[in-house]
Amino acid sequence: MNDFFLWMSMILGLLVLVCLYRGVFGPGFLNRIVAVNVIGTKIVVIMTLMGFIYQRVDMFVDISLAYALLNFIGTLTAAKYLERRGML
């Protein structure tokens, strides 16, 4: 089961690298915000899987919860700023 979790987190890491293309070369500001949100959700899942791989789930779950909260707040702040001030 440990090898299975390792393979799944490697596949998710490759998907993060594919998403990073849209984050770097994406036309405009909004595509980059969407890419950052997607990468954050994937990172939360990868971090919980890492906790199962390293046998320390009780520590990694707290970090992943805090990361999910920060990801949501960051995306919401950028979206509200663009809504009030207009497109950059």
Rounded distance, CA 88 to CA 71, Å?
Answer: 21
Look at phi and psi of residue 69 and say left if phi exceeds 0, alpha if psi is from -120 to 50, else beta.
Answer: alpha
Work out which of 18, 24, 50, 53 binds another protein, going by CB under 8 A.
Answer: 18
Scanning the structure block, which residue is given the tokens 């909260």? Answer: 69
72 binds another protein (CB under 8 A): yes
24 binds another protein (CB under 8 A): no
Give the three-state DSSP class for 40: helix
3-state secondary structure 2-18: HHHHHHHHHHHHHHHHH
Residue numbers 28-67 binding another protein by CB under 8 A:
28, 30-31, 33-35, 37-38, 41-42, 44-45, 48-49, 52, 57-58, 61-62, 64-65
Q: Which residues bind another protein (CB under 8 A)?
A: 1, 4-5, 8, 11-12, 15, 18-19, 21-22, 28, 30-31, 33-35, 37-38, 41-42, 44-45, 48-49, 52, 57-58, 61-62, 64-65, 68-69, 72, 75-76, 79-80, 82-83, 86-87
